[in-house]
Amino acid sequence: MKSQNREVPCAPIPLPASFLAAVAGYRWARDTVGESGGGVYRLHGKAGAADLFLKHGRDKVADDVTDEMVRLRWLAGQIPVPAVVQFLRTADEAWLLMSAISGRTVGQLLRATAGDGAVLDAVARFLRRLHAIPIDPCPFNSDHALRLALARCRIDAGLVDVDDFDEERQGWSAEDVWLALDKLLPLSPDRVVTHGDFSLDNLLIEKDEVVGCIDVGRLGIADRYQDIAILWNCLGEFGPDLQTKLLEAYGIGEPDRDKLLFHLLLDELF
């Protein structure tokens, strides 16, 4: 993936000895988007060698990096995702070295083309492909009951960043979101394999086709609106016409507004 103003040059970070041969000769740049407390680095500029990405984290972030590694290995051959080049986990740290996917993010493309809707067919095709993966072999659970339990823990621990809420919920407390969620229960899920954070910046596109996705650490079986809601919300940046076009391209004529709202509310707590 090309940088497109989302990274800054940096010095190499200290690495376990087992990684040194794989990263030798590369220049380093730190990703500035969506690091979630960890470090994401692009390794580039080595003659005759493809770019690599490195994720590193400690404590809870190390768990997140481990979750992503396991899911990348499970997804290999089912949809295009980065290949795991090398991984190491210690008691409190994790390092994940991955191949890079070519192209730029769908978000970058839409912003460069002032919201050109032609790309939405490709995004919808990719999302349908993901959601068509059989759920029976999938070992990962990301359903709303589990996420609600995790969200409650985050609220009680004071970990929810209320300043990062969407515009519609500016000024809300985490408890306000929780109460709004409760009013939308029970939820009848349409269970599929979901990405978990199906945002425009996690999809790579090249020559009018989505060629892969990244940041799969939340992947698991859940209601399909988990992905639809996040993508729909991202497209709000470009206006309601693109939101409608995306739903139509995916195959939804009239969306379930309660499910859209439920998953957007739940995402605020993470």
pLDDT at 114 (0 to 100):
87
pTM above 0.95, yes or no: no
pLDDT of 60-118, one tens digit each? 999 999 999 999 999 999 999 999 999 999 999 999 999 999 999 999 999 999 888 88
Q: What is the pLDDT of residue 36?
A: 60
Please tell me which residue in 31, 51, 67, 197 is annotated as part of the active site.
197
Numbers of helices and strands, H then E, in the chain? 9, 11
Q: Please state the rounded mean pLDDT for residues 5-17.
A: 91
Tell me the average pLDDT across 11-34: 93
**DSSP per-residue codes, 211-256:** EEE---TT-EEEETHHHHHHHHHHHGGG-HHHHHHHHHHHT-SS--
Domain annotation for the chain: domains and CATH numbers = 7-99 (3.30.200.20), 104-268 (3.90.1200.10)
pLDDT tens-digit map of 161-210? 999 999 999 999 999 999 999 999 999 999 999 999 999 999 999 999 99
Told to judge if 197 belongs to the known catalytic residues of this protein, a careful annotator would answer yes
Reported as a single tens digit per residue, the pLDDT across 221-254 is 999 999 999 999 999 999 999 999 999 999 999 9
Collapsing DSSP to helix, strand or coil, 195 comes out as: coil
